[in-house]
Amino acid sequence: MSAHDGACPALNVIMLGPPGAGKGTQAERLARARGIPKISTGDILRDAVQTGTKLGVLARKAMEAGNLVGDDLMIGIVEERLVRTDTRCGFVLDGFPRTVVQAIELDRIVDGRGPLLVLQIVVPEDVLVRRLATRRICSKCGVNAEPDHTDACGKCGGALVTRVDDSLDIVRERLKVYLRQTEPLVDYYSPRSSFRSIDGNQVPDIVTGAVAEALETVSRKVVL
């Protein structure tokens, strides 16, 4: 049986945006509000490795060798995750696809499960650099801290720490890598009526409202 059985209109969303744009926060909020899973590449990689699936074993070997997990392997792990029953009413993808090859395969994976809605969170580079240099994460569960959580993680209560890869030089390099590898996705998705850009240079609650409004607008243009 298909993961989407027709009992509910599927809300299949991709969150695009560079590091520091806030897409993780917005993906989490959207998933919680709509009752669908937020699926991040980091989470499903860890899950695949921990559960010891065939693809997880291959991914662990790649990571232990210091290599990036390749397109084919990442596509396979995402496909495994998207056939689980909790995705039958949709999902929010954070961190996938990262390449046009992955985007093409994702179109194949979700074919027949309703439209793919793509939201791009746009933030000026100087703002991204400032955000990333001051961003903190939970030392226990690893989630990014919400802006209003200054002392402890809002999810598990763990201590907040600065990410080791958020120094200014590393931040700028990460943004260059993102632009080089992931910006082609915007060219791939932007001609679609299901694509929207959102101004992420606002407080998170305003961005959340813009995300909801964009989804409503897009939903009226495509058949759900």
From the list 23, 38, 88, 131, the catalytic residue is: 23
Is 61 labeled as catalytic in the residue annotation? no
* Chain-centroid distance, C-alpha 157: 23
Q: Has 135 been annotated as catalytic?
A: yes
Among 198, 175, 188, smallest CA distance to 119 is for 198
Amino acid at 123: V
Our answer to whether residue 174 is catalytic in this structure is yes
Contact assessment for residue 26 and residue 121, using Cβ atoms and an 8 Å cutoff: yes
* Strands (E) located in 106-164: 116-122, 136-138, 160-162
The catalytic position among 46, 140, 163, 192 is 163
Residue of 46, 60, 98, 130 marked catalytic:
98
Residue type, 159: A
Per-residue burial over 150-172, b if 16 or more Cβ lie within 10 Å, else e, is: eeebeeeebebeebeebeeeebe
* 140 labelled catalytic: no
Written as one letter, the residue type at 7 is: A
For tokens 């996705």, name the residue. Answer: 185
Tell me, yes or no, if 98 is annotated catalytic. yes
Which of the residues are catalytic?
Answer: 23, 98, 135, 163, 174
